[in-house]
Structure 1
Amino acid sequence: MSTIETKSEKVYKGNPLNLIKMNSKQLDDGYLDKTPIFQFILLSILFPLWGAAASLNDILITQFKHIFTLSDFASAFVQSAFYAGYFLVAIPASLIIKKTSYKLAILIGLICYIIGCSLFFPASHVATYSVFLMALFAIAIGLSFLETSANTYSSLIGPKRFSTLRLNISQTFYPLGSILGIVLGKYLVFGNGPTLEEQMSGLTPAEQTVFAAEMLQKTLLPYKYLVMILVVALIIFLITEFPKSKPAKSAIENAKISETFKCLANNKEFIKGIVTQFFYVGMQTAVWSFTIRLAMQLNPTINERDASTFMIYSFIAFFVGKFIANLFMSKVSPTKVLLGFSVLGSLAVLYVTFVPNMSAVYMAIVVSGLFGPCWATIYSKTLDVVKDKRHTETAGAIIVMSIIGGAIIPLIQGLVSDISGSLQFSFIVAFVCFAVVVVYSIGQLRHQNV
């Protein structure tokens, strides 16, 4: 495989802001001859940054439900506002990557993320549900830039044969951010004593208004710390050199978006991957959105802070599940690992749905562990079926757009909960989603054996 260094890259390397250099060489297919370790670690650190924001949504759903007196369906709009931002911005982000670089898209994402977190401060003073949803949407714009760039970039920043493993390793960092978000929410947002519902039930309407305003102020604290972390990350990325990771053919710059859409729309394997990712992300989001509430429903003696501990366990299980999946992938194919985890996950979700005691909550933690290989493996497999590398950036953006499942599936689960009167039964929605991943995995194995 030959190496390339275009004129634009020479100018890029000459940027005085790139104080931290790298020694990897660009190959003509967009991959590198070896992985630059510092850059790869820095890129992987982005994953927990959006993991923290996503897990804080689970805290907000529980907090907002009682402060704003919402149904399960209405409270799930926290996730809808969040993931709608991903859906709308992914394609514009991919176009920026195509015209410029992955690094610039990451910098834009970090800046937008900082702005979105900062919007929580005026939102807390306005104190309406819709304004908080707007702040979450703004955060999602930044995260869409980060995910659109980082997921694809992680698979490219090194030899091609390790692309899936690299992305799985980067994704392993994700639950560390999720744990950080839940811990911040547990100790900064939730308080000790009775549940919010119990505390508000004994107050007059005027007192409830004052109490709700105090509780909303607590939602600011996690985002204050996130802003500090994000500013540091922005500075480090600004001074670090990153590879272009673009194919050698200049035609990549000339591929029309309409041509790309037509090519991808006619790629059946790509479409299957998009649909599967939609259901997987929706399932993951829905399970995590309602785990705290499930614990409180099955054990009425615990409050929000106590129940949020189960989410910490869930994200620890998610981390362990990813680590175990990576170990298996060094021995067997990623598709077989995905199939095994998704079959076990389907069975575990059935247990959560139909066993009416606290063991169901512990099984929900196991379900989180079985999410381990799903996102990264489906993402990498879906991107691999796009053979024309002129369409790589847009294909990666469309896969990120499938995150819209996180906006829709939790609403469906919330609706099932409201209609059936059983939050626990609503987890049947997650079973259907996991079954979709099973079917996809079986199809991938058959495709490999043809």
Structure 2
Amino acid sequence: MLFGNRNDIVQYDNGYISKIPVFQFILLSCLVPLWAAAASLNDVLITQFKSVFALSDFASALVQSAFYSGYFLISIPASMVIRNTTYKTAILCGLGFYIAGCSLFFPASHMATYTMFLVAIFAIAIGLGFLETSVNTYSTMLGPQETATLRLNISQTFQPLGSIAGILLGKYLIFQEGESMAAQLASMDAVQAAAYKMEMLQHTLEPYHIMIYILLGIFALFAVTAYPKCKVKSASTEGVPSIGKTLSYLAGNGRFKRGIVAQFLYVGMQVAVWSFTIRLALHLDPSINERAAANYMVVSFIFFFIGKFVANFLMTKFSANKVLALYAAIGVLDIFVVAFAPGMAALYGAVFASFLFGPCWATIYARTLDAVEKKYTETAGAIIVMSIIGGAFVPALQGYVSDITGSMQLSFIVNVVCFAFIAWYFHKEARLEEGEEMKLADCNG
């Protein structure tokens, strides 16, 4: 076994370890851009499938519903794999499903049915559910407890790089030069249109062909790399709590439940904004094609990357809860601009929204997990990952609003509610933080 565990690392009873194994942490963090690339490719597929299969905005958003439903369904089984084996085993399972899902794009392209593509996307999501359930919790455990949130934020910083890579793969390998697909299809007869659509479907294979080779290489690296278990040692009289007992405990934990709702709405909002940015660009500027419209997503992910760094810096100077409450409050105003501003100002607002997404996911995840006793960590982490199901509902709701109002731009108003709740959530967390600090000061006094 290569890169074995270092002898100077101590495993504590609470699951944390005394030092960060640097190579293992970097390799673990490399999984974050891999799942980000798959997610951002969905934003390309939504636009591609809408034209190829003549879908409504609601139906095209089912790409995200299939994707995030896979997360929801697999998270608890993934947590059980972690409980009964190791984080590494769950990661290898996730990579295996990810590879299988990418491979399913090949028969899907020949069958040329929307349903088969949704099955392939669902299979990829099963793999990513394993990965996120494992990696998000594991990165917090892979080192000293006092730097757990920082480690998660560092690993999540790689996410925009994967998102940008996914969009660029879609831009250059799926989208083609020339007029937009809608414009080209409008000038064709039925036979020409059918042949053109089949050609466009074949282009969807190319990014996934590349992804398979990358994933096989990462799988091999994980297989030969030793990782610390980072498992909580329960007292022998207690044993590992059952799923039933764990769920009962979590159901009575108010702070945990608020975190779940916040994560549900945050993921849903982020996915919805990104899902429809390319479509909004095509709507506001009919002179551009899909490849040019994808540039706005590249800029969005660059803004997302910058927003994470700015927020991480501010969080070293000020309360993380107050910083992100401010981010979310500005986000409410920004989405109003997207929904109601004239012309390209709306598109610029959609791009700027990515800056405000910041490190919300990682911070909500860490704060929510922090509210849970350590013996319930694996299942609690899985349920937080299950809240990603928001990515299945909010984009579909936005697509439905777009269809019934006939306005892609106005449909962005759905995300105002999400940003408003997240602002309230971080405000509430800030108040709790201040209360704890006052209690600590009274005790020290």
Please say whether Structure 1 and Structure 2 have the same fold, judged by a TM-score greater than 0.5: yes
Q: Secondary structure at the match of 1:249?
A: coil
Residue 344, structure 1, aligned to residue 314, structure 2? no
What pairs up with 1:170-185 in 2 under 5 angstroms?
170-185=155-170
Q: Deviations over 1:92-111 (max 9, x none)?
A: 00000011110110011011
Give the aligned partner of residue 77 of structure 1.
Answer: 62
8 Å Cα contact 1:98-1:253 kept in structure 2:
no
Contact 1:106 1:145 in 2 (8 A): yes
Contact 2:234 2:240 in 1 (8 A): no
Structure 1 residue 32 displacement after superposition? 1.3
Tell me how far apart the structure 1 counterparts of residues 239 and 275 of structure 2 sit (CA, whole Å): 41
Match of 1:192 in 2: 177
**What is the CA distance between 1:253 and its match in structure 2?**
5.3
The C-alpha deviation readout for 1:415-447, integer Å capped at 9, x for no partner, is: 111111110011101111001100101111111
Could you say which residue in structure 2 is the equivalent of 1:380?
366
Please state if 1:308 is matched with 2:314.
no
Contact 1:318 1:368 in 2 (8 A): yes
1:335 aligns with 2:300: no
CA contact (8 A) 1:277 1:378 kept: yes
Q: Could you tell me which amino acid in structure 2 is paired with residue 130 of structure 1?
A: T
User: 1:366: which partner in 2?
Assistant: 352
Task: Report if the CA contact (8 A) 2:260-2:384 is conserved.
Answer: yes
Partner of 1:13: none
Shift of 1:249: 2.0
SS of equivalent residue, structure 1 residue 330: helix
Q: Distance in 1 between matches of 2:180 and 2:388?
A: 32
Whole-angstrom distance in 1 between the partners of 2:43 and 2:9: 40
Greater displacement, 252-261 / 392-401: 252-261
Q: Match for residue 8 of structure 1?
A: none
Match in the other structure for 2:272: 286
Q: Please name the residue that 1:168 is paired with.
A: 153
Residue 408 of structure 2 aligns to a residue in which SS?
coil
Match of residue 395 from structure 2: 410
Q: Which stretch shifts more, 30-39 or 403-412?
A: 30-39
User: Counterpart of 1:11?
Assistant: none
Q: Distance in 2 between matches of 1:95 and 1:348?
A: 41
Contact 1:99/1:253 (<8 A) preserved: no
SS of residue matched to 1:343: helix
Tell me by how many angstroms 1:19 deviates: 4.1
Letter of the structure 2 residue corresponding to residue 274 of structure 1:
I
Aligned-pair CA distance for 1:332 = 2.0
The answer to whether the 8 Å contact 1:52/1:182 transfers is yes
2:263 to 272, 277, 280: 277
State the match for 2:200 in structure 1: 215
User: Equivalent of 1:393, from 361, 370, 378?
Assistant: 378
How far apart are residue 359 of structure 1 and its match? 2.0
Instruction: Give the letter aligned to residue 275 of structure 1.
Output: V
Spell out, residue by residue over 1:312-362, the C-alpha distance to the aligned partner (whole angstroms, 9 max, x if none): 001111111111111122222221221121112111111111112112212
The whole-number CA distance in structure 1 between the counterparts of 2:138 and 2:326 is: 27
Pick one of 72, 85, 88 that aligns with 1:100: 85
The worse-fitting range, judged by mean Cα deviation, of 219-228 and 20-29 is 20-29
Q: Do the aligned residues in 2 keep the contact of 1:31 with 1:245 (CA within 8 Å)?
A: yes
The amino acid that maps onto 2:245 is E
Q: Under a length normalisation based on structure 2, what TM-score does the superposition of the two structures give?
A: 0.96
- Contact 2:105–2:120 under 8 Å retained in 1: yes
Gap regions ≥5 residues in structure 2: 436-445
| Cα separation, 2, equivalents of 1:60 and 1:35 | 38
2: distance between equivalents of 1:397 and 1:69?
36
For residues 353 and 120 of structure 1, the distance between their equivalents in structure 2, rounded to whole angstroms, comes to 35
Q: Deviation per CA, 1:165-214, whole angstroms, max 9, x where unpaired?
A: 11111111011000000000000000111110111112121221111110
TM-score after normalising by structure 1: 0.94
Question: Equivalent residue for 2:410?
Answer: 425
Whichever residue aligns with residue 169 of structure 1, its letter is: I
Residue 437 of structure 1 corresponds to 422
RMSD over equivalenced CA pairs, Å = 1.1
Deviations 1:256-284 (A, max 9, x none): 11000000001011000001100000000
User: What's the CA shift for 1:248?
Assistant: 2.3
Mapped pair 1:46 → 2:31: yes
State the distance in 1 between where 2:422 and 2:129 align.
Answer: 23
Residues 169, 326 of structure 1: 8 Å contact kept: no
Give unmatched runs, 5+ long, in structure 1. Answer: 1-16
Q: Matched residue pairs, number?
A: 433
- 2:140 match: 155
Instruction: Specify the alignment match of 2:434 in structure 1.
Output: 449
Give the Cα–Cα distance (whole angstroms) in 2 for the partners of residues 275 and 71 of structure 1. Answer: 28
One-letter amino acid of the counterpart of residue 305, structure 1: R
Q: 2:5–2:228: 8 Å Cα contact kept in structure 1? A: no
2:282 alignment counterpart: 296
Secondary structure of the equivalent of 1:33? coil
Q: CA deviation at 1:161?
A: 1.4
Counterpart Cα distance in 1 of 2:76 and 2:259: 17
Question: How far apart, in 2, do the equivalents of 1:338 and 1:158 lie?
Answer: 25
Q: 1:87 pairs with 69, 72, 81, which one?
A: 72
Tell me the CA shift for residue 24 of structure 1. Answer: 2.4
Structure 1 range deviating more: 351-360 or 375-384? 351-360
Q: Which residue of 2 aligns with 1:255?
A: 241
1:337–1:373 Cα contact (<8 Å) kept: no
> Which deviates the most, 337-346 or 283-292?
337-346
- 2:15/2:233 contact within 8 Å kept: yes
Counterpart among 218, 222, 241 of residue 237 in structure 1: 222
Percent of matched pairs sharing the same residue = 57
Q: Secondary structure at the match of 2:12?
A: coil
